[in-house]
Amino acid sequence: MSGFSFEVLQFGLLTWHFLKAHTVGHSDEPYLYGFPYYRVVPIASLAVLIGMVYAVVSPLLLPILVIYFLLGYAVFINQMEDVYDITYDTCGQYWPTIHHYIFLSVTLMQTTMIGLFGLKSKPGASFATIPLLVLNIMFNEYCKVRFLPTFQCRPIQVPL
């Protein structure tokens, strides 16, 4: 299990550095790790999904989610500047994936709102949410038509 607190403390790197310094000795060049996209992106996406869906039912979840993302922003800005070495450039190739996660989160949130307003016997609010859902789907289709072809073909400078 990993999170922002483990990222700040980095017990594994601290222990590894301590053992290496006392057994092998110090080296002049530091070893820099690459950014762990495989570990960070799914956790952040899950937090967005849970926060967007359950914020309708439990609004007290929103301040906790905002604090979580502010802490993550502060930690990873520091990590990007001081700790991680950029081993490869993604050229924004994660944008379609993250956009899809956020689209699904907003769609689930709006569907939950329609159901919640229906259960609370507020048909006016339930029907007023339906155009938001339609606009959300239309915006997603516009983004797919407008921006997705950009990510299909990468410029020749990127591999070089």
Q: What is the DSSP letter of 91?
A: T
Question: Quick check: 116 pLDDT over 80?
Answer: yes
Give the pair of three-digit tokens for residue 23.
């057994």
Question: Quick check: 159 pLDDT over 70?
Answer: no
Which band of pLDDT confidence, cut at 50, 70 and 90, is reported for residue 26? low
Of the listed ranges 20-29, 68-77, 119-128, the least confidently predicted one is 20-29
Predicted local confidence at residue 93, as pLDDT: 77
What are the contacts of 123-131 at 24+ separation with CB within 8 A? none
The residue extents of the domains of the chain are 90-160
Helix then strand count (H, E) for the chain reads 6, 0
Question: Quick check: 151 pLDDT over 70?
Answer: yes
Mean pLDDT, range 144-156, rounded to an integer: 79
